[in-house]
Amino acid sequence: MRHPLPPLPGLLGRPRCLIPTFLTQAPHNPRRGRRLPKQLSVVNPNAAGIDIGGHHHYVSVPEGRDKETVRRFECYTSELVSMAGWLKRCGVTTVVMEATGVYWMPVFRVLESHGIEALLVNPKHVKYVPGRKTDVADCQWLRQLHTYGLLRSAFVPPQEIAAMRTYWRYRKDLVKAAAEQIQHMQKCLIQMNLHLHVVLSDITGVSGMRILRAILEGQRDPDKLARLANVMVKTPREEIAKALTGHYTQENLFVLKQAMAIFDFYQERIEECDRQLAGYLSHFQTKADPATLEQNCPAKTTKRRKNQPHFDLRAELYRLSGVDLTRIDGIDAMTAFSVLSEIGFDVSAFPTEDQFASWLGLCPDNTITGGKVKRRKTRAVTNHAADALRLAAQSLWQSKSYLGACFRRFKGRQSKPQAITTTAHKLALIVYRTLKFGHEYVDKGQDHLEKQHHERAIHALIRNARQLGFGLFDTQTGEVLVC
């Protein structure tokens, strides 16, 4: 039975099919979501709605605040400042907008700088009015829903975290672009029947780059090229020379030279981006004790690994967060920074770990119809932190740790993608608890999980024996478990 709708200005006279479903449906289970109030009251009387666009924005203010309740502003900075001034003259204190690409970011920052509370909402949470869709109707509908408190704000990191995230995301794009040039280089070598990738694990390593540069300089003797390999290479020099015997073509050498030049260019840009990121991180407050920092993260003496930043990222993470996330199995410094660059070093924006997992899109989004669960899949969201946690979960396949044993047990009951998501959810909860409570993660080992599984199996046997009226005793100790 549907509950009668209370008087709602702006919705009266509108056909019932045009009213959003969350205004007409019965109250939800308290454990599943918020219970709707019996009477809708005005929560944000000074609310405004903005329909974000690529060239202009439409802004709607409450009735009676100005002669024009809906105005259009261009996307230029001067127009955004004029928009903020007009909103303040209209007495607006809070503004709601949809997450439309990256066009909302300048508007969000300008409104915040003028002391106006800006809320970002998921477009999927806003039910548009069926029929003809216009920008004016969108901004009015957003303002109307926000006035009655029917919209929830999305998570937007602070400006300093957003800047750090921009550096890190751009660095990942540079690494990806450099990897594309490696594919071009390897394709050219194969077309010339030079199988350098067979005898070397990485053609862009020290030995590989030394051989490639010699080829571009005109060296064609396989024996001389093989002797350029580092002494640490285990492959016999005769086999390397055999792999470097081929037919050189002018067009493939040209493409190889171009790919090498672009690869070197991207490596220089990555190093420059690392210097900029390291300088930016130096301005953050230190949360770790200096003595503890030196003990847990001593000065690095080993050589930098490929694609690793040109500074000690693990030490910086420990200094900024106060905990060592790399103690968690499957999570290295790169994965930890990918997560922290999205959420920041403080998880107080997520009151509970369940809300954190829901924001990541790593928990089931059950769809219940007629008392039956019709859908149990996770939400289709694009989240860089969740992608990093999934990669970390996938690396636990052969781990002898507790989390590795959990992943293998999940994979025995689920498909591999589902097991990866389930393990990533477990990693997300551990990361949340570590950041919130400041406790270091301690691995229990895979034997601990086996012991838990053994104890649960014994309890299940005892319970079933009692229900069926059978006796049960331990053949090793002779102890009677069930009479």
Q: Do 423 and 306 share a structural domain?
A: yes
Task: Indicate the pLDDT class of residue 8, thresholds 50, 70 and 90.
Answer: very low
Instruction: Please give the pLDDT value at position 27.
Output: 44
Structure tokens at 94: 């809070």
Instruction: Establish if 461 belongs to a structural domain.
Output: yes
State residue 299's pLDDT score: 58
Is 309 found in the same domain as 247? no
**Residue 338 domain-assigned (yes or no):** yes
Check residue 19 and give its pLDDT: 39
For residue 14, what is the DSSP state?
S
Residues 6+ positions from 418 with CB-CB distance below 8 Å: 410
Rounded Cα gap, residues 140 and 85, in angstroms: 19
| Statement to judge: residues 140 and 176 lie in one domain | no
432 and 306 share one domain: yes
Same domain, 317 and 431: yes
On the question of pLDDT at 171 being above 80, the answer is yes
Confidence of residue 300 (pLDDT cuts 50, 70, 90): low
Please choose, from the candidates 401, 459, 452, the residue with its C-alpha nearest in 3D space to the C-alpha of residue 426: 401
3-state secondary structure of 207: helix
Question: Of the ranges 5-19, 193-207, 341-355, which one carries the lowest mean pLDDT score?
Answer: 5-19
Span 206-212, average pLDDT: 94
Domain check: are 186 and 59 in the same one?
A: no
Residue 4 has pLDDT above 60, yes or no: no
Cα 169 to chain centroid distance, Å, stands at 11
Of 123, 147, 171, the one marking the end of a domain is 147
pLDDT above 90 (res 357): yes
- Domain assignment present for residue 8? The answer is no
Q: What is the pLDDT of residues 387-421, one digit of tens each?
A: 999 999 999 998 999 999 999 999 998 999 999 99
Give CA–CA dist 354/348, Å, rounded: 13
In this structure, the answer to whether residues 125 and 178 fall within a common structural domain is no
306 with 430, same domain: the answer is yes
Q: How confident is the model at residue 298 (pLDDT cuts 50, 70, 90)?
A: low
Residue 17 has a pLDDT of: 39
Say whether pLDDT at 37 is over 60.
no
In terms of domains, do 176 and 236 share one?
Answer: yes
CATH at residue 102: 3.30.420.10
- Short-list 206, 225, 229, 203, CA closest to 214: 225
Alpha carbon distance 357, 375 (integer Å):
18
Predicted confidence at residue 375, as pLDDT, reads 80
Give percent of the chain with pLDDT exceeding 70.
Answer: 88
User: pLDDT value at position 419?
Assistant: 93
Residue among 344, 351, 405, 358 nearest 386 (CA): 358
Calculate the average pLDDT of the chain. 85
pLDDT 10s digits, 70-89: 999 999 999 999 999 999 99
Q: How confident is the model at residue 279 (pLDDT cuts 50, 70, 90)?
A: very high
Nearest to 95 by CA among 40, 127, 52: 52
Q: Does 155 reside within a domain?
A: no
The answer to the question of residue 165 being in a domain is yes
Q: What is the pLDDT of residue 367?
A: 81
Q: What is the mean pLDDT of residues 420-437?
A: 94
What is the spatial distance between Cα 324 and Cα 332, in angstroms, rounded to a whole number? 10
Residues pairing with 231 in the sheet? none
Give the domain extent around 62: 40-147
Report the DSSP beta bridge partners of residue 48. Answer: 95
* Lowest pLDDT segment from 97-111, 237-251, 293-307, 421-435: 293-307
> Is the same domain home to 313 and 351?
yes
pLDDT score of 261 more than 60: yes
- Which amino acid would we find at residue 120? L
Q: Are 482 and 462 in contact (CB under 8 A)?
A: yes
Total count of domains within the chain: 4
Q: Quick one: 410 and 379 in the same domain? A: yes
- Inform me whether the pLDDT recorded for 9 exceeds 70: no
pLDDT at 125 over 80: no
Alpha-carbon torsion (381, 384, 385, 389), positive or negative:
positive
- Tell me which of 234, 251, 281 is where a domain ends: 281
Give every CB contact of residue 252 below 8 A, 6+ residues apart in sequence: 188, 191, 192
